[in-house]
């Protein structure tokens, strides 16, 4: 597959690029809303698009269990099944499997696990996970990796790197579809030596892109930022860099500063369902009594549909009344905030104004 990424501008560590994928172009840096089970929770595809989302993430583990490969293939692929015509990245399911410690058995060939839904037994191998994602017709497929929750022992981290490299090699050999770009994943926890080893081994395989896994799994924020910066520097400049599982305003701004191009997280829609508003000046719970007669927008600096149409008082009323419109509106707003931050970040990098933009964005947070 030809290179899917072009780097257009840099300012310090921050990067501005373009991803050319089978279902469209993605301008980076970009945030990917998570549609775990082929839906971004509470939002229609049209709403996800109007919130300026360019690419979404779905999950192999969940789609494997429900509705299964045969149903999605019969529907014409994942894009048609969920009525989303833009790019889709699918996580390999490795994080979900390895977070269910009591339900899985790991060996060199793959992992056997029990479904969290009905207890049925399933088997993931690097080859079967790639074949599943290719059958779904996604734009970016992630390799099966071994993720370790931090803190972890040096032996566990080293074993994670060994197996992740071996599985990345097998994934590369199993890759068949020209429609689907396959990204490898770096592991190694907070150990710089293991991170360097992992990066060297997967970069040698020449994947179209690389992800930094094993962060945002128990370490402090400062530890995550330091590791992300270290890891980004170990990856080739001409390939996209993806930091898995980050989605707060502070984290995505800092990740861009570290040289990362892509991010995903359930955080904005989870916050939306739980009355937590994300703004450029921090977060707050809109259920609080202070907002019951507050007729200002959710975020005065936001021009999204929610902020130009409704008030804090109205959304507070919706949540207090358990009306389903409340989670829908706040989820839309939260996703829009992150996408708009990334749009402004791209402009700042192009104009060589990134440090000022970064500092301004961080200074406004609580």
Active-site annotation, residues? 91, 264
Three state DSSP letters for 37-71: CCCCCCCCHHHHHHCCCCCEEEEHHHHHHCCCHHH
Proportion of the chain in helix, strand, coil states, percent, rounded to 5:
45, 20, 35
CA dist 269 and 205 (Å) reads 35
> Which residues are 25's β-sheet partners?
20
d(CA 331, CA 223): 29
Distances in whole angstroms, Cα of residue 219 to Cα of each of 87, 189, 328: 31, 9, 31
- How buried is residue 305: exposed, middle or buried, by Cβ count under 10 Å (0-12/13-18/19+)? middle
CA distance 255 to 348: 15
The rounded distance, in Å, linking the Cα atoms of 14 and 353 is 10
Nearest to 110 by CA among 171, 54, 65, 67: 171
Cα-based torsion angle of the residue sequence 135, 140, 143, 146 in order, rounded to the nearest 10 degrees: -120
In angstroms, the CA 229 to CA 256 distance is 10
CB count in 10 Å sphere of residue 2: 7
């Amino acid at each position: 597959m030809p290179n899917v990424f072009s780097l257009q501008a840099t300012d310090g560590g921050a990067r501005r690029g373009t991803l050319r994928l089978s279902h469209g172009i993605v301008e980076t840096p970009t945030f990917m809303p998570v549609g775990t089970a082929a839906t971004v929770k509470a939002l229609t595809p049209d709403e996800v698009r109007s919130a300026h989302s360019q690419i979404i993430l779905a999950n192999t583990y969940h789609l494997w269990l429900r509705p299964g490969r045969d149903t999605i293939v019969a529907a014409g692929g994942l894009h048609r099944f969920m009525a989303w015509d833009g790019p889709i990245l699918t996580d390999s399911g490795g994080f979900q499997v390895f977070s269910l410690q009591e339900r899985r058995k790991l060996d060199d060939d793959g992992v056997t696990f029990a479904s969290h839904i009905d207890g049925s037994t399933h088997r993931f191998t690097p080859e079967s996970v790639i074949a599943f994602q290719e059958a779904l017709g996604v734009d970016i497929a992630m390799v099966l990796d071994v993720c370790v929750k931090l803190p972890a022992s040096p032996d566990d981290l080293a074993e994670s790197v060994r197996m992740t490299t071996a599985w990345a090699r097998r994934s590369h050999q199993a890759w068949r579809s020209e429609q689907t770009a396959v990204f490898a994943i770096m592991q190694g926890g907070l150990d710089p030596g293991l991170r360097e080893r992992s990066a060297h081994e997967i970069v040698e395989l020449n994947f179209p892109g690389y992800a930094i896994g094993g962060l945002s799994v128990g370490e402090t924020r400062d530890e995550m930022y330091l590791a992300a910066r270290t890891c980004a520097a170990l990856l080739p400049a001409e390939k996209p860099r993806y930091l898995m599982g980050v989605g707060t305003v502070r984290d995505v701004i800092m990740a861009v500063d570290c040289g990362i191009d892509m991010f995903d997280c359930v955080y904005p829609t989870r916050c939306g369902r739980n009355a937590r508003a994300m703004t450029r000046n921090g977060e707050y719970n809109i259920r609080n009594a202070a907002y019951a007669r507050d007729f200002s927008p959710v975020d005065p600096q936001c021009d999204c549909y929610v902020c130009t149409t409704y008030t804090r008082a109205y959304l507070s009323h919706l949540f207090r009344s358990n009306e389903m419109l409340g989670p829908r509106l706040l989820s839309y707003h939260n996703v829009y905030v992150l996408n708009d931050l990334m749009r402004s970040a791209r402009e700042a990098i192009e104009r060589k104004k990134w440090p000022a933009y970064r500092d301004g964005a961080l200074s406004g947070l609580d």
